[in-house]
Amino acid sequence: METPASSAAHRDLREWLDRVEAIGLLMRIKEEVDWNEEMAAISHMVGQETGAPALLFEAIRGYPRESRALWNLLGGSIPRIALALGEPHDLGVMELILRCKAKFGRLIPPVFVEPAEAPVNAHQLRDSAVDITVFPAPRHWPLDGGRYIGTADAIITRDPDGGWLNVGCYRQMVQDRNHVGLYLSPGKDARLHIEGCWRRNEPCEVVAVWGLDPTMFIVASQSFPKTMSELDFIGGITGRAVELVKGDAGNIPYPAQAEIVVEGVISPDAQKLEGPFGEFTGYYGRPEDLAFLMEIKAVHYRDNPILTNTLTTDTGMLYAVARSARIWGDLDRLGVPGIRGVYCHPAAAGAFGMTVISMEQRYAGHAPQVLALAAQCPGGAYFTKWIVAVDDDVDPANINQVLWAMATRCNPIEDIDILRQTWSTWLDPTQNPPAERPYGSKALINACMEHRYLKQFSKRTKLRRSVYEKVAANWGRLGLPGAPPRLWALEE
């Protein structure tokens, strides 16, 4: 079968939405809905179905029709994630992960455009005119500490020592017309930048993008080397340099094609109570506590701006694709051979909780080596608790096959190792009291056939390839529904 070619990437969120709508995966909600839990409830309920559409709310109570909100941006939709990566919408998940891995290895640095050429500069508010309450920031969950304007977002900061720009995805709660609370887990780049500035008794400049294209969202949500800028990776994925505008109220540039951008500063020791918030774990994260307080100096937004939002419990497929690609790429760069597939399962705390690696065992200790590296490589170190290695006859994306391998090839007393005091987050509900939460642990599960007895290990039952191909070719004539299943292992 011919492999579909990559497509030209979108230039901004609106062009991507046009493509999504063309394949029937955008729903426009024209009836009035409430920002207070109702938009989130609709998104969550719609998202329970596989292949649920993106939702564009065009009538939000208390706001003019020109003010719109996009939810379930990517959700569980492989076609929408593929379009965001500039790929055909009909790819399978493992093929998409492979292509994403290749694109994460390309870098195209950003370019600057004149302020007058930037759509995001259609409207600008400065200083005393700043008022972020003009945007329909929602309350997501009943016990949230406030309205969260930053969820499907990007935060841009500059490393005070190296000077490179970082792009990360972090939540922001509205405090008042010109302040937001910014929550950052330990070890996250923006947190390191803020703390670095504070050590010098200097404010940290911050740009927040509240209406962004999905490629920036994907990259902002992943861990990349701390000495490289995510802006270069975004350009590499799209094949087009990110267009930036020089900062108006500060020195941090901002994306010219964004929907909504704010510039602000976090002054030394500026903090305020923030949270709780319903997080990717499916729980309210840490209790209300101090978070960085960002003072907004300038607001820039397009005509009829779109505020992008996400329920962090519903982003599992995004992380399943992007995080799997990052871990697989890290293993490649470390020179580890024999990797057939990597999959971070979306049901496991939004794809953060469990990583499965399918591999061909080539030497003694190969599987334990893969487990140790996958557990601590940059793409996979944060939070993940369960790292499982399976043989190359097991599809890592098929949880039934993974569980079968764990049940029939893993001897728990011999094949499970534990890493302690690993990189985690204050959002982990298993660690109590909350002060324990920045430190986690990981289980490394070797569910491969025992290497020293590979030749003696019991043979698994598999269909003969020639028989499988005959049945698959006659599938429709046999009156069988749908398409024939793709089997990962066949008898040659």
Q: Please give the pLDDT value at position 48.
A: 87
Count other Cβ atoms within 10 Å, centred on residue 82: 24
Q: Please give the pLDDT value at position 6.
A: 61
Q: Please give the pLDDT value at position 406.
A: 98
Cα–Cα distances in angstroms (integers) from residue 66 to residues 76, 220, 304, 417, in the given order: 28, 27, 4, 55
Q: Please give the pLDDT value at position 318.
A: 87
Closest CA to 213 of 93, 418, 402, 70: 70
| Protein fold of 316-453 | UbiD C-terminal domain-like (3.40.1670)
Q: Please give the pLDDT value at position 300.
A: 98
Task: Show the CA angle centred on residue 263, arms to residues 350 and 273, nearest 5°.
Answer: 60
Q: Please give the pLDDT value at position 1.
A: 41
How far apart are alpha carbons 319 and 93 in whole angstroms? 12
How far apart are alpha carbons 230 and 189 in whole angstroms? 11
Please answer whether residues 121 and 106 qualify as being in contact, where contact means their C-beta atoms are separated by less than 8 angstroms.
no
pLDDT 10s digits, 279-302: 988 899 888 899 999 999 999 999
Residue numbers in the chain where pLDDT is lower than 50: 1-2
Domain 107-311 coded CATH 2.30.110.10? yes
* Sequence-distant (≥ 6) Cβ neighbours of residue 377 within 8 angstroms: 327, 330, 331, 334
Closest CA to 328 of 399, 415, 422, 396: 396
What residue ranges do the domains of the chain occupy?
Answer: 13-101, 107-311, 316-453
Classify residue 117 by burial, with Cβ atoms within 10 Å: 0-12, 13-18, 19+. exposed
